[in-house]
Amino acid sequence: MPLILWADAHIFVYHRFGDNKHTSTNTSIDTLRSQFEYLKKNGYKVVSLKRIHHAIKNNLPVNDKWVALNIDDSYKSFYENGLPLFKEYGYPFTLFVYVEATDKHYGDFMSWDQIRDAQKYGEIGLHSYGHHHSVSLSMEALKQDTQKGLDSFQKELNFKPKFYAYPYGEYDNKVHILIKSFDFDLILNQNSGAVSKQSDPYDLDRIALTGEDLLKRKLRIKTLPTEWITPQTWPENSVLKTIHAKIPTEISSIEYYVSAQGWKRIKVENGEVNEDVNLKLTRTRTRLFLKTGNRQSSLILVRD
C-alpha cells in the first residue's frame, strides 16, 4: 500500500495564565506572547473548533497550518490575564466551562458575566458540571452530572454547547458512549495527537501547552490513525498483558511507550501491533503511546 500523506491541524489546550501560584497548569504571559508571535510569523492560522468540525463533517481538507486554541476550566486568570492577549492578536478560542465552579462562585473561577463577555471573542463549550474523574463515576451519576451542566449552561447562556471536553482528559469506552449520547458536535480528549480529516469528531486529540514553551516541538506532531483494540480499560490486577492496535499497513516498525516504563521498538506486520508486554502499571493514570517519526497516537488509562 502506498504511503498516505495526511494534513494535520493541532488543537492546543491551556489552563491558567500568568498565575505563578499554580505552576503545573500555568502559562506565563511572556510565553503566551512568544507562542502567538511564532504562530503569526510562521504562517499558522488560528481557527475555531467550529471550522475544524465543518472540515471533518464534510470530509474537507484539514490544513497543516491550522491551529485551534482551547482553555479548560474557566479560571479567572484567563479572563484577567489571557483574554487581553487573545483580543490583541484577534485569535479565536474555545473556553470549556467547569460549571459548578461558576455556579457556586468558587473564588478562582470566572463568573457567568465574565463568561458572557468572553463569548464575544470565542466559543464556549462544556467541561462537565462537577469536574469529576469520569471513569470513577457510575453511568447514572455521569449522566446526571452532564445534564446538570447543560441545564445551568442553557439557563445562563441561552444555548446548548456544541463541544465537550473530558475533565482531566480521562475517559473509557463506557464514558465515551454516554457523553456521545448527548449529541455534541465534537468531544475532545487530551491524548496528545494531531487532527486530520480522518479524525473521529467524537474523540479529538488535544495537546497540552503549559509550563515551558514547547510549541515548536509539538507542532511537529502528526496524526497516526490507530484503532486501539487492547487495552480498552484498566487491566485486571493492574497488569498490562498486551498492546494490540491496528495502524496503517505501510508501517513496518514502531515504538511504544508506557508511563514509567520507557520506549521500546517492535516490528509491525500487516498494519497490526500485537505485543505481549506483561507490565505492572505503577501509576493510577497511565499513558500509552505508539510513535513512528513524528506520527503518534496515545491513550490514557485510568484506574477506577
CA distances from 207 to 11, 123, 124 (A): 6, 18, 19
pTM of the model: 0.92
Number of Cβ within a 10 Å radius of residue 173 = 10
Predicted confidence at residue 23, as pLDDT, reads 86
Predicted confidence at residue 24, as pLDDT, reads 87
Q: Which of 91-105, 162-176, 210-224, 258-272 is the least confident region?
A: 210-224
Calculate mean pLDDT across residues 52-80: 96
Encode pLDDT of 17-59 as tens digits.
999 898 889 999 999 999 999 999 999 999 999 999 999 999 9
Q: Over 50: is that where the pLDDT of 236 sits? A: yes
Q: Over 60: is that where the pLDDT of 3 sits? A: no
More confident residue, 16 or 192: 16
Q: What totals of helices (H) and strands (E) does the chain contain, helices first?
A: 9, 18
Predicted confidence at residue 238, as pLDDT, reads 93
Predicted confidence at residue 2, as pLDDT, reads 33
Predicted confidence at residue 284, as pLDDT, reads 87
Q: Over 60: is that where the pLDDT of 14 sits? A: yes
> Which residue segments constitute the domains of the chain, with CATH numbers given?
10-220 (3.20.20.370), 227-302 (2.60.40)
